[in-house]
Structure 1
Amino acid sequence: MVKRITVKSFEEFQSTVAPLKDEKHLLCLFTGSEDASGKSWCPDCVAAKPAIEEALKDGPDNTVLLTCNIDKDLWVKRDNPFRTDNTLKLTCVPTLIRWGWNRRLNDQECQDAGLVSMMLED
């Protein structure tokens, strides 16, 4: 079963990911935030969600999914910390990172359940 953690800011992401850094299957998903009805401002994030969920169903039991919901107002700023941080260097949402493994999928790649599944392989 996947352990799911959701954060809503860069600072919250930093403080949450630090104690998880030794998890073997830590995936960090950076995605557009959702409104009260559950609709995201990011169409690529909406398109990627089913593929990510499908891949997680068959993933290792010790998988941790750390989801960071990013508000549109913050994302559109070129100097936002998700874009400028030397570790993250995000260029798009969604972005899925296998923490500590130098593996990353960007917007269109996140829509492929096969590629997402490969992120969980050792």
Structure 2
Amino acid sequence: MGWEEVSVRGYAEFELAAREQQRRGRRVFAYFSGDKDPASGTSWCPDCVKAEPIVRAELLNMPEASVFIYCQVGDRTYWKDPSNEFRKNLKLTGVPTLLKYGTPQKLVEEECFKSELVRMLFTED
């Protein structure tokens, strides 16, 4: 496995992790999901639950020395607030979202259900 996974929760942790990895010259891919319930391990977001195994199955196609950041965006109430930091600063419109950090390339909601689109995001420059 030539890539690394980093798990974070919240915008501040995400920004810190993404910037650190970019400083190291690594390509950063980020997957944004609704928070998972600690007891059940399941997200409040049904689309996130459906998309995660599809995205994870394609991780083997990530470029060498890249980083996959798994970011929990918060609870449903925080996510629905139009002024939350993910919406304001990263222009996220839905979860799940998979993006190539620092580029306009991203997959939103149902696009994350399509393994061929996920693979393309990981493999194309």
Query: TM-score under structure 2 normalisation?
Result: 0.87
Q: Which residue of 1 aligns with 2:117?
A: 115
Mapped to 2, the partners of 1:53 and 1:47 lie a distance apart of 11
1:20 is displaced (CA, Å) by 1.4
Q: Which residue of 2 aligns with 1:81?
A: 85
1:23-34 counterparts in 2 under 5 A?
23-24=26-27, 26-34=28-36
> Which runs of no fewer than 5 residues in structure 1 stay unpaired?
none
Question: Could you tell me which of 47, 55, 58 is aligned with 1:44?
Answer: 47
> Which runs of no fewer than 5 residues in structure 2 stay unpaired?
none
- SS of residue in 1 equivalent to 2:98: strand
- SS of residue in 1 equivalent to 2:37: coil
Question: Could you tell me which of 55, 60, 69 is aligned with 1:57?
Answer: 60
Question: Could you tell me which of 86, 92, 98 is aligned with 1:96?
Answer: 98
> 2:69 matched to 1:66?
yes
Mapped to 1, the partners of 2:57 and 2:34 lie a distance apart of 19
Please tell me the residue identity of whatever aligns with 1:83: R
Contact 2:7 2:70 in 1 (8 A): yes
Please tell me the residue identity of whatever aligns with 2:8: V
Runs of 4 or more consecutive aligned structure 1 residues displaced over 4 Å after TM superposition: none
Matched residues, number = 119
1:59 is displaced (CA, Å) by 2.9
Please tell me the residue identity of whatever aligns with 1:84: K
Higher helix share: 2
Instruction: Give the percent of matched residue pairs that are identical in Structure 1 and Structure 2.
Output: 35
1:31 is displaced (CA, Å) by 0.7
Q: Render the CA deviation track for 1:74-112: whole Å, top value 9, x for unaligned.
A: 101111111111xx1010001111112321100011111
Q: Render the CA deviation track for 1:8-56: whole Å, top value 9, x for unaligned.
A: 11111111111212313x1011111111211110011011012101111
